[in-house]
């Protein structure tokens, strides 16, 4: 019990020492009276009335675009095994298709699939196109001419002459 009294006395003295400081207390700040917002009137606007006109509106439908035949098209074999712009192209009668090999690692080639295309390719044999070289074929009759690419993943293509 004596120990308890000693501990309580020490706490009491500590509280007295902490509570007695030489600094004056800060003055209390007065609180302002709460203000209430006054609603501001919002001017109302009148929606404009539509004025009738005698103008005529023409609506035209556009058809789905069809590929425009080019006088000549270059089909390029790339070194990443891609072909640009693709293997099917549209040209007008008298148009020229140019196959170009941009692949320094291997030759590429094209081969006719049917007799009709073979007439333009010089037969059914493969036309080998070495790196940096081209094969040019001019198509003189309307029609669809099938061929395939060789020395890579075999791909079929079509030349559409209009």
Residue 148: the pLDDT is: 92
Lowest mean pLDDT among 34-38, 122-126, 148-152: 34-38
How large is the average pLDDT for residues 135-147? 93
Please list, in sequence order, all residues whose beta carbon lies within 8 angstroms of the beta carbon of residue 39, skipping any fewer than 6 positions away.
none
Q: What percent of the chain has pLDDT over 70?
A: 62
Q: Which of 7-21, 28-42, 55-69 has the lowest mean pLDDT?
A: 28-42
Residue 155 domain flag = yes
CATH number at residue 143: 2.60.40.420
pLDDT band at 121 (very low <50, low <70, confident <90, very high): confident
In the chain, how many domains are there?
1
With respect to residue 91, please indicate whether it lies within any of the assigned structural domains: yes
Is residue 95 situated within a structural domain?
yes
Q: Confirm whether 135 is domain-assigned.
A: yes
**105 — pLDDT class (breaks 50, 70, 90):** confident
- Within a domain: residue 137? yes
| Cis geometry, peptide bond prior to residue 149 (ω within 30 degrees of 0) | no
The whole-number average pLDDT for the span 27-40 is 58
Tokens coding 40: 């501001």
Any domain includes 149: yes
| Neighbour tally for 55: CB within 10 Å | 5
Query: Residue 103: which residues within 8 A CB-CB, separation 6 or more?
Result: 77, 78, 79, 131
Query: What is the pLDDT at residue 128?
Result: 92
Residue numbers of the domain that contains 80: 72-161
Highest average pLDDT, of 16-25, 38-47, 145-154, comes from 145-154
The better pLDDT of the pair 31, 108 is held by 108
Answer yes or no: is pLDDT of 71 > 80.
yes
Classify residue 66: in a domain, yes or no: no
Structure tokens at 25: 């207390």
Residues 6+ apart with CB under 8 A from 97: 72, 73, 74, 75, 89, 91, 136, 137, 139, 159
Let me know if residue 128 belongs to a domain. yes
């Amino acid at each position: 019990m004596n120990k308890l009294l000693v501990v309580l006395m020490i706490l009491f003295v500590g509280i007295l020492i902490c509570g007695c400081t030489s600094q004056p207390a800060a003055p209390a700040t007065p609180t302002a009276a709460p203000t209430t917002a006054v609603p501001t009137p919002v001017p109302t606007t009148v929606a404009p009335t539509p004025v009738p006109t005698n103008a005529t509106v023409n609506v035209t439908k556009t058809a789905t675009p069809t590929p425009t035949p080019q006088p000549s098209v270059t089909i390029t074999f790339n070194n990443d095994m891609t072909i640009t712009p693709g293997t099917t192209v549209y040209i007008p009668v008298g148009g020229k298709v140019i196959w170009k090999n941009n692949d320094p690692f291997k030759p590429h080639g094209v081969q006719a699939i049917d007799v009709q295309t073979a007439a333009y390719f010089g037969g059914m044999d493969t036309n080998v196109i070495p790196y940096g070289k081209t094969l040019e074929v001019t198509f003189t009759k309307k029609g669809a001419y099938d061929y395939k690419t060789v020395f890579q993943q075999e791909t079929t293509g079509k030349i559409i002459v209009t």
